[in-house]
Amino acid sequence: EAGVVQSPRYKIIEKKQPVAFWCNPISGHNTLYWYRQNLGQGPELLIRYENEEAVDDSQLPKDRFSAERLKGVDSTLKIQPAELGDSAVYLCASSLRSAGGDEQYFGPGTRLTVT
Amino acid sequence: AQKVTQAQTEISVVEKEDVTLDCVYETRDTTYYLFWYKQPPSGELVFLIRRNSFDEQNEISGRYSWNFQKSTSSFNFTITASQVVDSAVYFCALGAVTGRRALTFGSGTRLQVQP
């Protein structure tokens, strides 16, 4: 079974530029998560989708971040414009359901460096 | 509010030593889940174990064992006879079944196993 796929793995951009990350979850997983992991910290949730609906985006900085999950499968996370403080690893995860106790399977992440 | 504390930032041991990684959590929920994830240098978070709040039985899986004590709100992880391949950052996480249903991660413990 294929795992969670993310691309690109690495991205270096200048501040004020836009950037987008793509995630393909495990087949059949209804719930998709985007986390941000700062250096030396644990991941923090940005947004959670159940199918195509964003059910929790309370921690997503909506002035510059946007996300979508068309057809309830793949998802894209966008930052526009990027700031220096956005440098982090962006992790996508998926789970079968959103019951809180379900195992979340993580992708390899996209390491973003904003210069 | 939920919180996970991993007080050990970094631990260094010599191969074949036993090592225990500490995890203390805070939650007002009566039903919750606890997880351990491993993050090797490749960056992908690998699921290790999940326990629900009603199951305090300790668990052993090969060289890994987990000690869950609700009385002290701790969920510690022990690696017996450590190996170089165990070198990674280990995260403890708390999963809520209500509200945000996201994982709350600790800041991680970096384990270095020297040959």
Top mean-pLDDT range of A67-76, B44-53, B81-90: B81-90
| pLDDT on residue A102 | 82
DSSP structural state of residue B70: G
**How much is the pLDDT for A2?**
81
| Binary contact (B42, A43; C-beta < 8 A) | no
- Residue-level pLDDT at A1: 66
Residue B55 has pLDDT above 90, yes or no: no
Which residues share a beta bridge with A56?
A48
| C-alpha span between B48 and A79 (Å, rounded) | 32
Residues 86-115 of B with CB under 8 A from A: 91, 93, 95-98, 100-103, 105-108
Residue type present at position A6: Q
b/e burial code for range A82-92 (CB count within 10 A of at least 16 → b): beeebbbbbbb
The confidence score (pLDDT) of residue A65 equals 97
pLDDT score at A72: 83
Please give the order of strands across the beta sheet that includes A75-79: A5-7, A19-24, A75-79, A65-68
With beta carbons under 8 A apart, name residues in chain B contacting A43.
Answer: 45, 91, 103, 105
B97: pLDDT strictly greater than 90: no
Express each pLDDT in A21-49 by its tens digit. 999 999 999 999 999 999 999 999 999 99
Instruction: Give the confidence band of B114 by pLDDT, cuts at 50, 70, 90.
Output: very high
Per-residue model confidence as pLDDT tens digits over A58-113: 899 999 999 999 888 999 999 999 999 999 999 999 998 766 678 899 999 999 99
Q: What is the pLDDT of residue B37?
A: 97
Kindly report, residue by residue over B26-45, the tens digit of the pLDDT: 999 889 999 999 999 888 89
pLDDT of res. A16: 97
- A103 contacts in B (CB within 8 Å)? 35, 47, 50
